[in-house]
Chains A and B, each alone.
Chain A
Amino acid sequence: MNMEHYPILAIISLFLGAFLVALFGRLNKVLRNLIVAAAVTIPLCLMIALIAPVMIGGQVIGYWMGNWAPVGPWAIGIGLEVDALSLFFGLVVTIAVFVSGLYSFTYMNRDDSLENYYTLFLMLSGSLLGLVLTGDLFNIFVMIEIMTMTAVALTAFRVDYEGALEGALKYMVVGSIGSTSVLVGIAMLYSQLHTLNMAQIAAALPDHQNLVTVGAFAFLFLGFSTKAFLFPFHPLAADAHAVAPASISLMISGVITKCGVYGIIRLAYILYQNINEPAVSILITGFGAVSCFICVTMAFNQHDFKRLLAFHSISQVGYVITAVGLGTALGLSAGLYHAMNHTLFKGLLFLCAGAVQYATGSLDLGRLGGLAKKMPKTCALFLIGAASISGLPPFNGFFSKWMIYQASFEKGLDTGNFFYIVVCVVCLLSSVLTLASFVKVAQSVFFGQLQPQFENTKEVPLTMRIPMWILAVLCILTGVLPWEVLQKLVGPAAAAALNAAGYIQGMLGSGAAAGAGAQAAFSMEIGFWGPVSWLCLLLIVSCAVCLVAVLGTAEQKSPEERHEMDRRAGRTAAFTRDGFADAGRILKPAEKEGHYRNPVLSGTTLTFTGEKDPKYENFFSGEESEYSQVGGGDLFWGFKTNWRHYFQGMRRWHSGVINDYTRYGIVALAFVLLYACLFL
């Protein structure tokens, strides 16, 4: 069969699967599962078959639906266009869909009306694949809408799960800002260029820059960043992930966000080709870096396993967008590489969370603990995922994060713009916080004390572990063979994104690409690690850390020193929750007179002369953590106390009210529009 039919067949097989499941799924369980298995396997095979001609051969596959070939320079019909960038994301989508489908067979077997689940799931998968393979702008909008609708329905699939409806409603309402933005952007572009074909737009757009196309850029950028759940929209992702089934969390975090990333890359690199303008680069990188940092700190406060993972997910997407916004070949490669890695390791982590939920029925980090003894295999898989996301060598996160640091730092050196150095430091800091956060998760879920109610927990069945192992093996493979991945997959995809002329020619034939920017020279300069610049960076970071350490200890030490001095002077001190209070101070009754024995009241002054009450000792007292001097189960109590004003502000900010989230979205829209009008 001709190669050019593969993309449409891949999309059709998913949608056809959805209809077949809707028709016959009710009749027979085995038949239903067979249809689903076939529907998720065929696209994966087709995408893998396309690797050789597209990735290695550098071919661009164009397909005109109904054979409506273009007349002259005008594209009439709807086209599918698969260049290396589309195929890269197509591979990511199909792998995630395959794994998620396989996992669902066992994971969802306790739910009923599963034919609805699989119908929606296959429609979601089909829309995602269609989104990345299409060459038509309006098709992208339609696919985004199918994606949103099915993702919302799947989020609320377990309607009785606490908060499922609420998460779905927020996703739908606030997400509609993004959909509206995309459509408005498309309408504005159409009014200027009178075409919807992306290749034709890319050919015409550089000569038609005016205020309307700039506005369209702002609308489209905001629409795609809504779908990627970037910064002001990240609460949606957290709400949706926390309540969706784990297999759908994998899809939302691994693929839906990637489609937003794909849209942004397509928009800035191919359609507008304006990524090299400093204003665009700073806009995209800034959005990425802010998401990266805010979400990783938000993850510290979470008590729900999957909600925590959701915030990390957006933090990692922030990394990807940061790298994509740099606009250099290295930056784009780093972004694509990290996007792929993120799908693999975050998918693995979500599936681990799903396994924990399947085995124990709980996702509460405060209640779980010690599961390593009961679920050793899941624990091993989780550790692989956690090491990957934290960027420990030799797992895949290490390599891609390294490339992101290097790319942002080099961009800073090249342009002399301090902004990129700050971005680089923010990325490094977020990586440290990610590691810290996963130490906490591992401790509170798999290690530590086993709660009595989980005494009978059993390891999840093999059919659930196989999909997890697929992802884990891919995590390790892409980590130990980075050069292969870079040359075979990431490199060609990045080269395709930087080569707008090739994209136009692939669709409309040569000669149509005259107006497009010159083909950017793509060189594989990755691997030139620039030891000197790394040393500089290390020094800067070390200095920053020293500065923080010195300033931090100065604040921290003083009460202890004071206490020490008090002790030497024979005075007594009251030991309260906030630290050491001054002896002789008037204490309120609420300040736990029981902390020390023998309270003595002389005048208005309450002092304690006795021994410390063992009831209030750290760790062993058995008291509620509320009354303990350090937060009992919390590894990072000190960090969180020092940052409590920030965390309190953030908690207020993530209020959970739809209107607030909508307001953030509107403010972001206004900001992007204003920014685009002023600087582009």
Chain B
Amino acid sequence: MILVNYAASFFLIALGLYCMAVKKNLIKILIGMGLCDYGTNLLVVSVGFNPGGTAPIFTAGEIHPGMFFVDPVPQALTLTSIVIGACTTAMVLGLIIRIKAKYGTLDSTEIRRLRG
């Protein structure tokens, strides 16, 4: 049931945003960002789903009338989005390592030298 996918994806996004807004530990904030990413990926890939469709690969000889594919474009988008998400995670982890070395803490309420 595709509706479950949509509900799950928005639930994941909401959960991720909740983590980012409430959790004080930087690693948990990063996990929240990841959850947002996964929710979005699930949404994008669900958009291209056709019930009963086959994999979008042309193989001569296997094609017969009445056969149809799932939409390949969202799958490509999801792949791109996964790669971007991985980069984001790596980037934030790198920043967190440097911040831990410099500030000596991972508590987001103590990392606030820029304010006001």
Using a CB–CB distance below 8 Å, which chain A residues touch chain B? 138, 142, 145, 149, 152-153, 156, 159, 162-163, 165-170, 172-173, 176-177, 180, 183-184, 186-188, 190-191, 194, 196, 238-239, 242-243, 301-302, 307, 651, 654-659, 662-663, 666
Closest residue on chain B to residue A302 by CB atoms: B116
Task: Known contacts A659-B22, A663-B21; decide if A152 and B36 are in contact (CB<8 Å).
Answer: no
**Is B84 in contact with A142, judged by CB distance below 8 angstroms?**
yes
User: Of B20, B73, B98, which is within 8 A of A173 by CB?
Assistant: B20
Closest residue on chain B to residue A660 by CB atoms: B21
Does B15 belong to the interface (CB within 8 Å)? Answer: no
In the bound assembly, the distance between CA atoms of A307 and B116 in angstroms comes to: 10
Residues from chain B with a CB closer than 8 A to the CB of A301 are: 116
Q: In the A-B complex, list the 9 residue pairs whose CB atoms are closest, starting with the nearest.
A: A656-B115, A656-B112, A191-B47, A239-B114, A662-B20, A187-B44, A662-B21, A145-B84, A663-B21
Task: Known contacts A153-B91, A301-B116, A655-B115; decide if A187 and B98 are in contact (CB<8 Å).
Answer: no
Task: Tell me the B70-116 residues at the A interface (CB within 8 Å).
Answer: 71, 73-74, 77, 80-81, 84, 87-88, 91-92, 95-96, 98-99, 102-103, 108-109, 111-116
**Is B77 in contact with A138, judged by CB distance below 8 angstroms?**
yes
User: Of B74, B87, B103, B108, which is within 8 A of A149 by CB?
Assistant: B87
User: Of B21, B47, B74, B95, which is within 8 A of A169 by CB?
Assistant: B95
- The interface on chain B, measured as residues whose beta carbon lies within 8 A of the other chain's beta carbons, has a size of 42
**Is B71 in contact with A194, judged by CB distance below 8 angstroms?**
yes
**Is A166 in contact with B111, judged by CB distance below 8 angstroms?**
yes
User: Of B21, B74, B80, which is within 8 A of A190 by CB?
Assistant: B74
**Is B47 in contact with A163, judged by CB distance below 8 angstroms?**
no
- In the assembled complex, the CB of A108 is this many whole angstroms from the nearest CB of chain B, namely 20
User: Of B23, B30, B91, which is within 8 A of A659 by CB?
Assistant: B23
In the bound assembly, the distance between CA atoms of A176 and B17 in angstroms comes to: 10
Residues from chain B with a CB closer than 8 A to the CB of A242 are: 114
A-B contacts, 22 of them at CB < 8 A, read A138-B80, A149-B87, A156-B95, A163-B113, A166-B112, A167-B114, A176-B33, A176-B36, A187-B44, A188-B47, A190-B74, A191-B47, A194-B71, A242-B114, A301-B116, A651-B116, A655-B115, A657-B109, A657-B112, A659-B20, A662-B20, A666-B17
Residues from chain B with a CB closer than 8 A to the CB of A302 are: 116
Closest residue on chain B to residue A651 by CB atoms: B116
Residues from chain B with a CB closer than 8 A to the CB of A663 are: 21
In the bound assembly, the distance between CA atoms of A114 and B88 in angstroms comes to: 23
- In the assembled complex, the CB of A670 is this many whole angstroms from the nearest CB of chain B, namely 10
In the bound assembly, the distance between CA atoms of A168 and B81 in angstroms comes to: 21
Chain A residues touching B, majority SS: helix
User: Of A187, A307, A658, which is within 8 A of B40 by CB?
Assistant: A187
Residues from chain A with a CB closer than 8 A to the CB of B36 are: 176-177, 180
**Is A187 in contact with B74, judged by CB distance below 8 angstroms?**
yes
Closest residue on chain B to residue A182 by CB atoms: B40
Residues from chain B with a CB closer than 8 A to the CB of A243 are: 114
Q: Which of A162, A183, A663 has the most CB of B within 10 A?
A: A183
In the bound assembly, the distance between CA atoms of A172 and B92 in angstroms comes to: 7
In the bound assembly, the distance between CA atoms of A656 and B87 in angstroms comes to: 25
**Is B116 in contact with A169, judged by CB distance below 8 angstroms?**
no
In the bound assembly, the distance between CA atoms of A580 and B95 in angstroms comes to: 52
**Is B20 in contact with A183, judged by CB distance below 8 angstroms?**
no
- In the assembled complex, the CB of B2 is this many whole angstroms from the nearest CB of chain A, namely 10
Residues from chain A with a CB closer than 8 A to the CB of B111 are: 166, 169, 656-658
- In the assembled complex, the CB of A270 is this many whole angstroms from the nearest CB of chain B, namely 21
**Is A172 in contact with B91, judged by CB distance below 8 angstroms?**
yes
- In the assembled complex, the CB of B71 is this many whole angstroms from the nearest CB of chain A, namely 7
Residues from chain A with a CB closer than 8 A to the CB of B103 are: 166
In the bound assembly, the distance between CA atoms of A651 and B116 in angstroms comes to: 5
**Is A176 in contact with B88, judged by CB distance below 8 angstroms?**
yes
In the bound assembly, the distance between CA atoms of A149 and B84 in angstroms comes to: 9
4 other contacts beyond A159-B98, A165-B102, A169-B96, with CB at 8 A cut-off? A156-B98, A163-B113, A187-B47, A188-B47
**Is A180 in contact with B13, judged by CB distance below 8 angstroms?**
yes
- In the assembled complex, the CB of B5 is this many whole angstroms from the nearest CB of chain A, namely 12
- In the assembled complex, the CB of A208 is this many whole angstroms from the nearest CB of chain B, namely 15
**Is B108 in contact with A168, judged by CB distance below 8 angstroms?**
no
**Is A142 in contact with B116, judged by CB distance below 8 angstroms?**
no
In the bound assembly, the distance between CA atoms of A176 and B39 in angstroms comes to: 13
- In the assembled complex, the CB of B28 is this many whole angstroms from the nearest CB of chain A, namely 10
In the bound assembly, the distance between CA atoms of A663 and B87 in angstroms comes to: 24
Residues from chain B with a CB closer than 8 A to the CB of A658 are: 20, 26, 29, 108, 111
**Is B40 in contact with A180, judged by CB distance below 8 angstroms?**
yes
In the bound assembly, the distance between CA atoms of A663 and B23 in angstroms comes to: 11
Residues from chain A with a CB closer than 8 A to the CB of B112 are: 166, 655-657
- In the assembled complex, the CB of A123 is this many whole angstroms from the nearest CB of chain B, namely 12
Residues from chain A with a CB closer than 8 A to the CB of B44 are: 183, 186-187, 190
In the bound assembly, the distance between CA atoms of A138 and B73 in angstroms comes to: 11
In the bound assembly, the distance between CA atoms of A18 and B47 in angstroms comes to: 35
In the bound assembly, the distance between CA atoms of A481 and B44 in angstroms comes to: 48
**Is A165 in contact with B116, judged by CB distance below 8 angstroms?**
no
Residues from chain B with a CB closer than 8 A to the CB of A666 are: 17, 21
Residues from chain A with a CB closer than 8 A to the CB of B116 are: 301-302, 651, 654, 656
**Is B17 in contact with A149, judged by CB distance below 8 angstroms?**
no
- In the assembled complex, the CB of B69 is this many whole angstroms from the nearest CB of chain A, namely 13
Task: Known contacts A138-B77, A169-B96, A184-B40; decide if A657 and B108 are in contact (CB<8 Å).
Answer: yes
